[in-house]
Structure 1
Amino acid sequence: MPASVVLNPASSSSNPATSSVALWAYLKPALDHIVRSPSNDPNGKAPAVDFVLYSGIHTACYNYFTAQSEPPSSASSATARGKAPVGGSDIYDQLDRYFAEVCQEIALNAPEDESTLVHYLVPSFNRFSSGAQSANRLLSYVNRHYVKRAVDEDRGWLRLNDVLESMVKTMTIDDTREKISQRLKEKRTEELKRWGYAEGDPPERLAVAEACSETASPVDRIVPVASLAHRRFRTEVIEPMLLAPKTKGTSKAKHKIPKTPASAAPYRPKGRLARAVQHLMTADDVQEEERTRLLTGLAHSLKTIGVRPDHPLRKRMDKHLTTTTASSEKTDTDNAEGS
C-alpha cells in the first residue's frame, strides 16, 4: 500500500480556512491520495491519510463552514441579501467537478474490447467507491454544515416541487401545509421503496435506499459527498456506455420492401455495456464462478450509482443471477440427496 500522505499544515503561512481557494489547495492532495492513488488491497480499500493531516482537514473544514454560517457583517449585508451563493457551495462545486474529472479518467481508460469491459469496470468502481466513502468521512463537515442546510432549504434529492407537480391538477384551496407535507413524506417513501426499502426495515436498509435515491437524482440536487461521487460515476462512466450508438443513416429508397426474416431476430444489445454483459453471460471461456462474481459486482455498482431497478440491463442481469442461483441451489440439493 502506498505511503500515507504527510503534509505539514504549518508549512504555509496561509490558513486553509480563510478562503475556498486555500481550503481546496489543502484538500486536493489528500483527495488525490485516497481517490486516485493505486491500492494493493484486494478489496480496493482506499489508502489511509496521515492522522495529523486528517485532523487538520477536519479542523479547517469546521472553521471554514462555521465561518460561512455566521451572520453577515453590516459591510456585506447587502451582498448577503442578494443572489450570492450559499456559503460553502464553492467547495461543494469543486468536489463535484473533481469527482467528474476522476470518473472521466476512468471512462477514458476503459478497454475498447467488450470482452474485458466488465472485468475493468467492477474493480474500478470498487476502488473509486472505497475512495468516495473515505472522502465522505474525511469531509464530514461538508455534509454536516452545507449538505444538511441545503436539504433543509429544499435543495436535496427530493424537493417540494417534485410533489407539487404531481398535485397541481388536484390541488384545491383547502389543501393545507400539513397535507402537502404528508404528500411529500408519501412521495419520499414511494421512491425509497423502489430501492428495496419496506416500512419497518432496520435503519441500515433505509440508509442504503436513501443513498440510492440520492445518486439517482439530477446533478443539480445537493447530496452527501459519497452520493455526489457515486452520481458522477453514473453520469460520466456508466450512462455513456448504456447509450445505443447512432445509426449512420437510412436508405433513401422509399418503396423498398424489407425482407421477411426466416425466424425471430436474435437478441442484440445496442449499448456498449449491454453488449459487454451479453458477452460475459454467454462466453465459454469464463468460469461460472467468475461470471457470477463479475455480474454480481456490476449489479451492485449499478444499484449504488442510481441506475433504476426497472432499467432493461439491470432486469436482465437480475434475472440471469436469480436463475443461476436457483440452478446452483438445485444442484447442491441433488448432490446432498445423492450422497
Structure 2
Amino acid sequence: MPASVVLNPASSSSNPATSSVALWAYLKPALDHIVRSPSNDPNGKAPAVDFVLYSGIHTASSLPRANPPSSASSATARGKAPVGGSDIYDQLDRYFAEVCQEIALNAPEDESTLVHYLVPSFNRFSSGAQSANRLLSYVNRHYVKRAVDEDRGWLRLNDVLESMVKTMTIDDTREKISQRLKEKRTEELKRWGYSEGDSPERLAIAEACSETASPVDRIVPVASLAHRRFRTEVIEPMLLAPKTKGTSKAKHKIPKTPASAAPYRPKGRLARAVQHLMTADDVQEEERTRLLTGLAHSLKTIGVRPDHPLRKRMDKHLTTTASSEKTDTDNAEGS
C-alpha cells in the first residue's frame, strides 16, 4: 500500500471524514491489501499496513460523518433512529461475504485436494481478518460495544426469555432475569471449552467462538464478523448433503436387506474430502495430521459447534492418532 495514500484533512468530497461513502472508498483499498493480496508467509500472515494510512483510517473513523439519505430514511421507516457506525459495519459484512464467496468459488472440485486448499485459504483469510480487526478497532470500541450494551450482541435477552417462557411468573424480578442471562452466557462459553476460573485468554477464545457461531443478524467484533462469514459462505455449503431426486417407482420399491452393515459414506462435500484424507494411502501421516489439525482449528474458529458430526469424527481421529504416536514413542524408549 503506497505511503502517499493519506487522509486529507481539508473538507472536500474526497475527504473520508465527510461521509460513510467517502470513508468506505478510503477503507476498501486497505482491506483489499490485507485480506485479498497474496502473501508469501507460510502461515498466511497478512501484509503490513502503512502507519500513515493506519492513522488516517483511525482518525477518519472517529470523526462524525453524514449518513447517506437512504440509510436515514430506511431507519426512520423501521421506527428507529439511524445508528452511527452501522453503515460501515454493514459494508464490512458485505465485503467479507464477497471475499468468502470468492474463496468458495475457487475451491477445487476434486475432493482429494479440497482440505489442502481450505486450510491455507482460511489461514490467510483469518490473518487478514485479525489485521482488519486491529485496523478498525474504533468500530469495535464504539459501535459494537454500544450494540452489545443495547442487547444486539451475540447473546440477547430474547434467547433467555424463550427458555424461561414456560416457567416465568409475574414475580420474576429483573435481577432474576439478569442472573439467568449470565448463566446462559456461561453455558454457551462452556460449549467452546471454557471452564470457571480459566485464564482471560481462554475466555476470549470461547467468546470469539460464541460470536462466530451466532446468527448473522447479531452484532459482533470485526474479526468474528469475518470468521462468521467464512462459516456461512464457505464451510456450511460444503457441509450440506446434495439433494437427490428419486422416481416414483423407487419410492414404492421394497429395499433389500443388506447382508452386512453398510460402510460409512459421508454425504457432504467437505465430509467426503475429510474421509478421503483420513484413508488416503498417498498422504504421509504427518501431513495428514497437520491438515486435519488445521481444519479442526478453522471449524472451531468460525463457529461450527463441537457436537457437529464432522468435528466429532475429526477430533476422534486426531485423539486416536496422538495416542498411537505416544504409545509408539514409549515403546521405542523402553526397548
Give structure 2 stretches of 5+ with no counterpart: none
Q: 1:88 Cα shift?
A: 1.2
When normalised by structure 2's length, the TM-score is: 0.91
The question of whether the paired residues in 2 share the 8 Å contact of 1:4 and 1:50 is answered with: no
The question of whether the paired residues in 1 share the 8 Å contact of 2:238 and 2:270 is answered with: yes
Deviation digits for residues 62-88 of structure 1, max 9, x if unmatched? xxxx52699999999996995233111
In structure 1, distance between residues paired with 2:8 and 2:75: 38
In structure 2, distance between residues paired with 1:69 and 1:157: 28
- Match of 1:253, SS? helix
Comparing 249-258 with 233-242, which one deviates more in the overlay?
249-258
Q: 1:211 Cα shift?
A: 0.2
Identity %: 98
Deviation digits for residues 84-108 of structure 1, max 9, x if unmatched? 3311111100000000000000000
In structure 2, distance between residues paired with 1:164 and 1:11: 48
Change (3 A) 1:171 1:258: same
In structure 1, distance between residues paired with 2:311 and 2:2: 36
Comparing 255-264 with 36-45, which one deviates more in the overlay?
255-264
Change (3 A) 1:24 1:255: closer
Q: 2:237 aligns with which of 235, 240, 251?
A: 240
The question of whether the paired residues in 2 share the 8 Å contact of 1:122 and 1:294 is answered with: yes
In structure 2, distance between residues paired with 1:216 and 1:297: 18
In structure 2, distance between residues paired with 1:239 and 1:222: 20
Change (3 A) 1:6 1:21: closer
In structure 2, distance between residues paired with 1:250 and 1:73: 50
The question of whether the paired residues in 2 share the 8 Å contact of 1:215 and 1:231 is answered with: yes
Comparing 190-199 with 257-266, which one deviates more in the overlay?
257-266
The question of whether the paired residues in 1 share the 8 Å contact of 2:111 and 2:276 is answered with: yes
The question of whether the paired residues in 2 share the 8 Å contact of 1:6 and 1:50 is answered with: no
Change (3 A) 1:147 1:285: same
Give structure 1 stretches of 5+ with no counterpart: 61-65
The question of whether the paired residues in 1 share the 8 Å contact of 2:34 and 2:46 is answered with: yes
Q: 1:252 Cα shift?
A: 2.2
Aligned ranges 1:261-276 → 2 under 5 Å: 261-276=258-273
Deviation digits for residues 100-152 of structure 1, max 9, x if unmatched? 00000000000000000000000000000000000000000000110000000
In structure 2, distance between residues paired with 1:205 and 1:72: 43
In structure 2, distance between residues paired with 1:169 and 1:195: 27
Q: 1:259 Cα shift?
A: 1.4
State the Cα RMSD in Å.
Answer: 3.4
Q: 1:40 Cα shift?
A: 0.3
The question of whether the paired residues in 2 share the 8 Å contact of 1:5 and 1:30 is answered with: no
Q: Which residue matches 1:29?
A: 29
The question of whether the paired residues in 1 share the 8 Å contact of 2:112 and 2:277 is answered with: yes
- Match of 1:111, SS? coil
Change (3 A) 1:170 1:287: same
Q: 1:250 Cα shift?
A: 3.5
Q: Which residue matches 1:9?
A: 9
The question of whether the paired residues in 1 share the 8 Å contact of 2:97 and 2:233 is answered with: yes
The question of whether the paired residues in 1 share the 8 Å contact of 2:13 and 2:22 is answered with: no
When normalised by structure 1's length, the TM-score is: 0.90
Aligned pairs, number = 333
The question of whether the paired residues in 2 share the 8 Å contact of 1:299 and 1:314 is answered with: yes
In structure 1, distance between residues paired with 2:320 and 2:93: 38
The question of whether the paired residues in 1 share the 8 Å contact of 2:188 and 2:210 is answered with: yes
In structure 1, distance between residues paired with 2:2 and 2:331: 46
The question of whether the paired residues in 1 share the 8 Å contact of 2:6 and 2:56 is answered with: no
Q: 1:2 Cα shift?
A: 11
Q: 1:262 Cα shift?
A: 1.4
In structure 1, distance between residues paired with 2:72 and 2:96: 36
Comparing 83-92 with 118-127, which one deviates more in the overlay?
83-92
- Match of 1:2, SS? coil
Q: Which residue matches 1:18?
A: 18
Deviation digits for residues 25-60 of structure 1, max 9, x if unmatched? 010000000000000011100000111101100111
The question of whether the paired residues in 2 share the 8 Å contact of 1:68 and 1:88 is answered with: no
Change (3 A) 1:326 1:43: closer
Change (3 A) 1:70 1:259: closer
Q: 1:336 Cα shift?
A: 4.0
Q: Which residue matches 2:333?
A: 337
Comparing 148-157 with 258-267, which one deviates more in the overlay?
258-267
The question of whether the paired residues in 1 share the 8 Å contact of 2:101 and 2:233 is answered with: yes
Q: 1:324 Cα shift?
A: 3.6
The question of whether the paired residues in 1 share the 8 Å contact of 2:97 and 2:229 is answered with: yes
Change (3 A) 1:286 1:197: same
The question of whether the paired residues in 2 share the 8 Å contact of 1:211 and 1:304 is answered with: yes
Show structure 1 runs of 4+ deviating over 4 A.
Answer: 1-13, 68-82
- Match of 2:71, SS? coil
The question of whether the paired residues in 2 share the 8 Å contact of 1:197 and 1:205 is answered with: yes
Q: 1:268 Cα shift?
A: 0.3
In structure 2, distance between residues paired with 1:75 and 1:106: 33
Q: 1:330 Cα shift?
A: 3.4
The question of whether the paired residues in 2 share the 8 Å contact of 1:39 and 1:45 is answered with: yes
- Match of 1:74, SS? helix
The question of whether the paired residues in 2 share the 8 Å contact of 1:69 and 1:87 is answered with: no
